[in-house]
Amino acid sequence: MVLVAPSILSADFASLGEEIHKVEKAGADWLHIDIMDGHFVPNLTIGPQVVADIRKKSSLFFDVHLMIERPEELIPAFVDAGADLITVHQEACIHLHRVVSMIKGYGKKVGVAVNPATSVSLLADIISEVDLVLIMSVNPGFGGQKFIPGAEEKIKSIKKMIKNKHLGIHVQVDGGINAETGRRVVEAGADVLVAGSYIFNSPNVKEAIKSLKL
């Protein structure tokens, strides 16, 4: 079963509550929340206060994607704000094991993300500790970018690693996902699709979500 996680980065932030309600009603499985600090990525988004506010309006599973330096400093605030899953970037954590343990210590699900230029082989010694691996199919920072081919091969390698270690974890893909790229990454083994512009710019959000599950 494929899970669809609309990224609110492409929502209208002036009506965030209604936008979330719209995707929730249209069959979203998770809500993907992109947190950017202007350092790890060249863009800024929202902080824990906004997450806490939308938490009161939605019962969706909150998938918080931290694209920030020193995530350990803000993890407690995102836990308090109501995150269900917190994903950190391999590239942003000098002590990745410590950060992963910290998130698990709060009783939350934990994910590790890799940028397009980062080899999934770097996850070999942490994969048994996580609930999800996020393969970025764009360079993080902005919605609406084009899918970078190559993600499929990375998904296949990470799936092999997961199988060899007898793990049962999610493989999520984020960036440039639409019905066509979505099908390609699902064929490669992904089971959680993040999509921002494809869903929020669609005239029919329900159909867009449905098309990612085929």
Q: Which of 88, 94, 93, 150 is nearest to 119 (CA)?
A: 150
- Residue 57 Cβ, how far from Zn ion at the closest point, in Å? 20
177 lies in the binding site for ligand DX5 (CB under 6 A): yes
The pattern of x and - marking residues 139 through 158 that bind ligand DX5 according to CB under 6 A reads -xxxxxx-------------
Q: What is the sign of the dihedral through the CA atoms of 208, 20, 3 and 153?
A: positive
Residue 164 main-chain phi, psi, to 5 deg: -60, -30
The answer to whether the CB of 32 falls within 8 A of the CB of 6 is yes
Give the CA distances from residue 188 to residues 17, 159, 170, 172, 180, in Å, rounded to whole numbers and listed in that order: 34, 8, 13, 11, 13
Nearest to 132, CA basis, from 110, 151, 116: 110
Catalytic residue list contains 174: yes
- Per CB under 6 A, 7 contacts ligand DX5: yes
Q: Which among 52-60, 61-69, 142-150, 198-206 is the span making contact with Zn ion, rule CB under 5 A?
A: 61-69
**Is 53 an annotated catalytic residue?**
no
**Nearest distance, CB of residue 166 and ligand DX5, angstroms:** 30
Q: Look-up: residue for tokens 């899953």? A: 85
202 interacts with ligand DX5 by CB under 6 A: no
Measured from the CB atom, is 36 or 158 closer to ligand DX5?
A: 36
The residues that touch ligand DX5, with contacts defined as CB under 6 A, are: 7, 9-10, 32, 34, 65, 138, 140-145, 174-177, 194-198
The residues that touch Zn ion, with contacts defined as CB under 5 A, are: 34, 65, 174
